[in-house]
Structure 1
């Protein structure tokens, strides 16, 4: 009986020592990768820090880990010594995030399966990309109008640009409010609405659930709003 108790105690100790429920685990496959280094990074103030890395040699599979307090943006980097965009941003949470992509089109071929925040984030990015494409079209039209010295078309494009920018702001505000129970909401307020009218930031902040308010992004948004109001006095 004493041996059974000792064995049971060792099992508990072993399971506790290998508990990954409070960690972020990022794993997947990079098709076509023979050699290279994969990095897992996160934001630290205004810079990115590496929290884990893995040298790939032969197998294209990888697995990286990090401590994580609350859902936030992480970055998967691939060092393959070229000038291409080899960074993938994703919204991470505790548990497993799976990222499958290719060496040749590391960013563009990325398929991410993981947190519920990532699903919300991808929904936002899908619409935001359409706004960005429309903006690029307007920039091209404005450039052509300037070359032709067409003042009427220049004025028309400037007005269209302002309307597009306003529509994107309002869409982002509404999206954040509709997803008040997701950490994506304060993140968007901090990144895509940082220069918006304070009333929009207040609107989003006031609707956040208690859990989201207590997250890192929720606390950061509150500090950001407090600073703006203090500077305005």
Structure 2
């Protein structure tokens, strides 16, 4: 297995500093390592020094589906995750259909200008907004969280404006679930909650850790309910 990391944009034979710790860990654990230029990949430029053989796993900055397709083709289909699997996990509406009932109620449209009809179904309840891939959660009050859905037009417009060309797919409105707040983000002022990230490979839990990186008091979430969900998803 070769892990394909993004390189340093100014030193192409070095790993991006944000991935240095993982690069070194991969080497210690016997994985093959290689580099790819995120800038060249997303600009449609030739990709240099890609591995000539072996199954690869991309570990780098988020790619739009069309850029992932290009990397897959450049590697002759040797990426562990296929473009179809990538789209499933990357674009929210695709995975929601498999998780409905286990994740907050959500609606979406590929027409962001029709946001009023999306908000209408939530009445006066709180919601958050995002595109098909990500939110602007670090601009919590300006471009993410809406205390009352029926008064959310300004927040939606700000979100769409700030996303600009980076807006992927369309607009998603999700019912806000009030988890236990454990702090406030020191840079953005975003409220942080008791949340965990769980990573699965082929339906098996391989890692669980607090979403915000800091150790939380109390028990971790049980893995069994999430393992059963992961096992039925059409992705690695």
TM-score, normalised by the number of residues in structure 2: 0.28
Larger Rg: 1
